Structure 1
């Protein structure tokens, strides 16, 4: 009976998992599509300038837009879909985490005898919110520390330049020019690689390793920590040596663990910054 209940919860969790993943993907696609339309409309308006404003006050031009349902629909959707879509995606991710964690834990309880973390589905949702808030606080703290470190390094660099210049900043020209010089030097050498784990890794090698880890877990490169965690749990169960007796299962299980460790919070944020800049 326990096996039947276990497989039932596992199948139900899998159906919810794939359904919500697909729905989130479709909404993300629509948001990107209509956001592109909005950028095109904005570009047309900025290029036309005052001419468009004159047209907008022209009753014939307004009537032409209102009488064309395709154009009117595209304009409205380009405004509404990106806003509503992002809210919907955020809410769906919350439901996805809450539901899949609940049913997968139930399946583990019946199949493997592991006690579920929570009894109610709402408790998983509360944990999701707490984790999100903690993640937001962590990012803000990291940002604050990074800004403080940059200021400290800048002050040390100014002090060094000051001492090398015989005690005056004017040896390097105008003070604002020196600040621009220091900022550019930061953006030159340091952006080509970052110190990680005692080794200097270039942006290209980091990007390749990060995307390789995502491929192992079967998640998109834009996946957040919750999507990565769910994929890891699913893959780890599939290739765990105690469950999967295939000769290559142990090696694959190790790769999955390594990939999950590599896709930590700092690397997720680093990849996000790299691809959005």
Structure 2
């Protein structure tokens, strides 16, 4: 009976997982498409300026525009969809995490004898909110720390430059020198961070890191832009599929080890690093 219940919960969790992933994907596409339309309308408006506004206020042109359902619908949806879509996407991710975690943990309890983390589905939702809030606070603390380190590095460079110049401050005529200094200080700060990473043994070149990161995502079967919650759900699903206690295929143990290694590599810091590299490119 326990096995039957376990497989039932596992199948139910998998169905919910795929259905909600598909819905989130569709919502994300709609937000992207209609955000693009809104940008196009904004570009046309900015290019036309006052002339476009005068034409738009013309009763004949305004009547023709309002009588065209396609254009009118695009304008309305371009305003509404990006706003509502982002809220819906966030809420769907919350439901996705809460439901799949609940049913997968139920399956683990009946199939593997593991105790569920929480008894109620709402508790998983509360955990999701707590994790998101901690992640937001962590990013904010990291941002403040980076800005503070950057400010101190620039102040130190200013102090050294001032000492070397005999204590005299720059005039407005030295503006080109200031630009050179700013670029050098930015580059020096970046290189300093790289050298620290190299010294700690945790630094890999951007190209090598990108390959490793994408290979880890391929092993778990997730998009390269996945967040920590999507990666965690994919890991749990793959780990259960190839767990040696469940899967008796000859290559299951080796695949199970690869899955664990991939999940360990896709840490919060590596996720942030990959996304930063992609955005900077």
Q: How many residues align structurally? A: 275
The Cα RMSD (Å) is 2.3
Contact 1:239 1:253 in 2 (8 A): yes
Q: Alpha-carbon deviation of 1:253?
A: 2.2
Deviations 1:236-267 (A, max 9, x none): 22222333333333332222222212221122
Residue aligning to 2:28: 28
Q: Alpha-carbon deviation of 1:36?
A: 0.9
Residue aligning to 1:222: 225
Residue aligning to 2:110: 110
Length-normalised TM-score, structure 2: 0.89
Contact 1:161 1:169 in 2 (8 A): no
Q: Alpha-carbon deviation of 1:186?
A: 5.2
Residue aligning to 2:58: 58
Runs of 4+ in 1 over 6 A off after TM superposition: none
Contact 2:98 2:122 in 1 (8 A): yes
> What does 1:113-192 correspond to in 2, within 5 Å?
113-170=113-170, 174=174, 177-185=176-184, 190=190
Q: Alpha-carbon deviation of 1:172?
A: 11
- SS in structure 1 of the partner of residue 246 of structure 2: coil
- SS in structure 1 of the partner of residue 204 of structure 2: strand
Q: Distance in 2 between matches of 1:187 and 1:166?
A: 24
Residue aligning to 1:16: 16
Cα distance change of structure 1 residues 52 and 202 upon mapping to structure 2, 3 Å threshold: farther
Q: Distance in 2 between matches of 1:101 and 1:65?
A: 49
Question: Is residue 206 of structure 2 the alignment partner of residue 207 of structure 1?
Answer: no
Residue aligning to 1:90: 90
Contact 2:157 2:185 in 1 (8 A): no
Structure 2, unaligned runs of 5 or more: none
Cα distance change of structure 1 residues 159 and 251 upon mapping to structure 2, 3 Å threshold: farther
Q: Distance in 2 between matches of 1:97 and 1:14?
A: 12
- SS in structure 1 of the partner of residue 114 of structure 2: coil
Structure 1, unaligned runs of 5 or more: none
